[in-house]
Structure 1
Amino acid sequence: MLIRIFESIYRRLVVYLGIHHYVNYLRRKGVVVGDNFCAFNLNTINIDLSRPSLITIGDNVSVNRNFTILTHDFVSGIFIRCYSDVLPSTGCVRIGNNVRTGQNVTLLKGVTIGDNVFIGANSLVTKDIPSNCIAGGNPCKVIISLDDYYEKRRVACIKEAFDFAKSIQERFHRRPVLLDFREEYTLFIDGTNFYQYPEFHNFMKSQLGVHFDTYIKQHKAMFPSFDEFLAAAGIQ
């Protein structure tokens, strides 16, 4: 009993101290956790540590609020009363590299998620999810390949950015400003004009990380400047 109380207090402490301490806590328990694990709300994460050796988390994994991993279930409680027998039920959970989740995602025992996968909000993962895809639902299944979704987003993000710009003007009765578009900078900033926008330098370097140099060399913005982006959106 005292051990459980101490464990509960210690877990709350490492959550309070932040992601670095939480990852070290998982590793000490026996969970394999790769580099650059990120959690948007540690207080709502529920990782089943009754069998930590069954859990493997790859590099560059980012999970959202109310993320859960389960390595066992309690069906044996039904069997005991029906058959006077105990049948254990456990399974590995493996998460590949470069995986992200929306809010309220649960991974059940015995599932593997491949590399380069996004799991949509409110998903219950009951079976393996292959690499390079967008998946979601209850039960979770593949929705679209990563390549196809990338091309779809390249088109859709332009209209969405236009709509966002118009909403600022209509709602707040002002012309949109550069820093309103912290997620949309790729539409008007590339290597040819990067140094014209010092407001974004630190943010871009932080977000892109090791991919920053490649972005600057290869990315071609759809609009030559922020002003031309606004003009295309119909903002005067």
Structure 2
Amino acid sequence: MATNFSTRVRVLGAALRAFLVLTVLLGILYPLSMTGIAQALFKDNADGSMVAVGGRNVGSSLIGQSFDLVDAQGNPRKFDADGREVLATADGAGYTYLQGGGALTAEQAAGVGTLPDPKWFQPRPSAANYDGLGSGASNYGPENPTFVKLVADRKAQVAKFNGVGEDRVPVDAVTASGSGLDPHISRAYALIQVERVAKERGGLDVAEVRALVDKHEDGRNIGFLGQERVNVLELNIALAKLAR
């Protein structure tokens, strides 16, 4: 009996020592060493490939983001389904119209959202609303009626917003990526936005804006994987510099 007890104590002690050693090695030393190596050799990647302008981070080159209309403080402006601007009520429970102050009905409030800023190149849609914590796709099948209508509505909106025919709207302009956070758009989508951006920027030369697209186009990965693409954040940063 005593022998069995002492054996169990030794086994328990060995298991506890192994647990403590592995915790220190794999839970402390290994993560710290990997973090140190990453910071020393790949600091930009390890920090999330952040992009800074004027000493302030404005986004990541790896994560898509919206470029919607904002107010003077940088907060997103909200509009109803008819494009009329609204303001949140003091208690945050509803909305009132900017002009007139009338309260929106629950149905109208459900349709409140942001609008794209015509002065910027726009990204592809995001099923996750560009939220890294909710990254993912819509999971609609290609023949799902909801998805078909959504694509048709987006196609009409993109065509109207950019002043082009619906036949010129590329696929990535109306469909989200699998992650909902793709930072790139196709060259075709960038090009249909050039004239709109140039006009909204106080009449920038269209050729100059198109040249920005050419300059920021990335080729296929290792020459044959994927498609040519343009990073929207980097393109918009270059656009802001051009428009100064």
TM bucket, shorter chain: under 0.3
Bigger Cα Rg: 2
TM-score, scaled relative to structure 1: 0.25
Per chain length, whose mean CA-contact separation is higher, i.e. which structure has more relative contact order (CA < 8 Å, sep 6+)? 2
More strand by share: 1
